[in-house]
Amino acid sequence: MMCRMGCGACCIAPSISTSIPGMPEGKPAGIRCIQLNENNLCHLFGQPERPAVCSQFAADNMTCGESRDEALLRIVALEQATI
């Protein structure tokens, strides 16, 4: 599955425990990544500064569902299940 252009759910819903440029302590779940632009595209996409966890994320139907809203709900549920 290809990422939905402008979705950004994976940059909002999960926590990221590693440093992100502009967010040296990482980011909590539910907080928009500072690197996500107004079109929900990552400023760091394809850049070496992009955290490994972000580069390794692969969209799939089970995680992302059929829409951005569904992706947000599913990723939040996964985040809560792993706390």
- Name the band, by pLDDT with cuts 50, 70 and 90, for residue 54: very high
- Name the band, by pLDDT with cuts 50, 70 and 90, for residue 82: confident
Q: How many domains does the chain have?
A: 1
Residue 60 counted as domain residue: yes
> pTM above the 0.85 mark?
yes
Residue 3 counted as domain residue: no
Tell me which residue of 25, 9, 28, 6 sits closest to 83, measured CA to CA.
28
- Tell me which residue range forms the domain holding 46: 9-81
Give the pLDDT mean for 42-70: 95
Percentage of the chain modeled with pLDDT above 70: 100
Beta bridge partners of 66: none
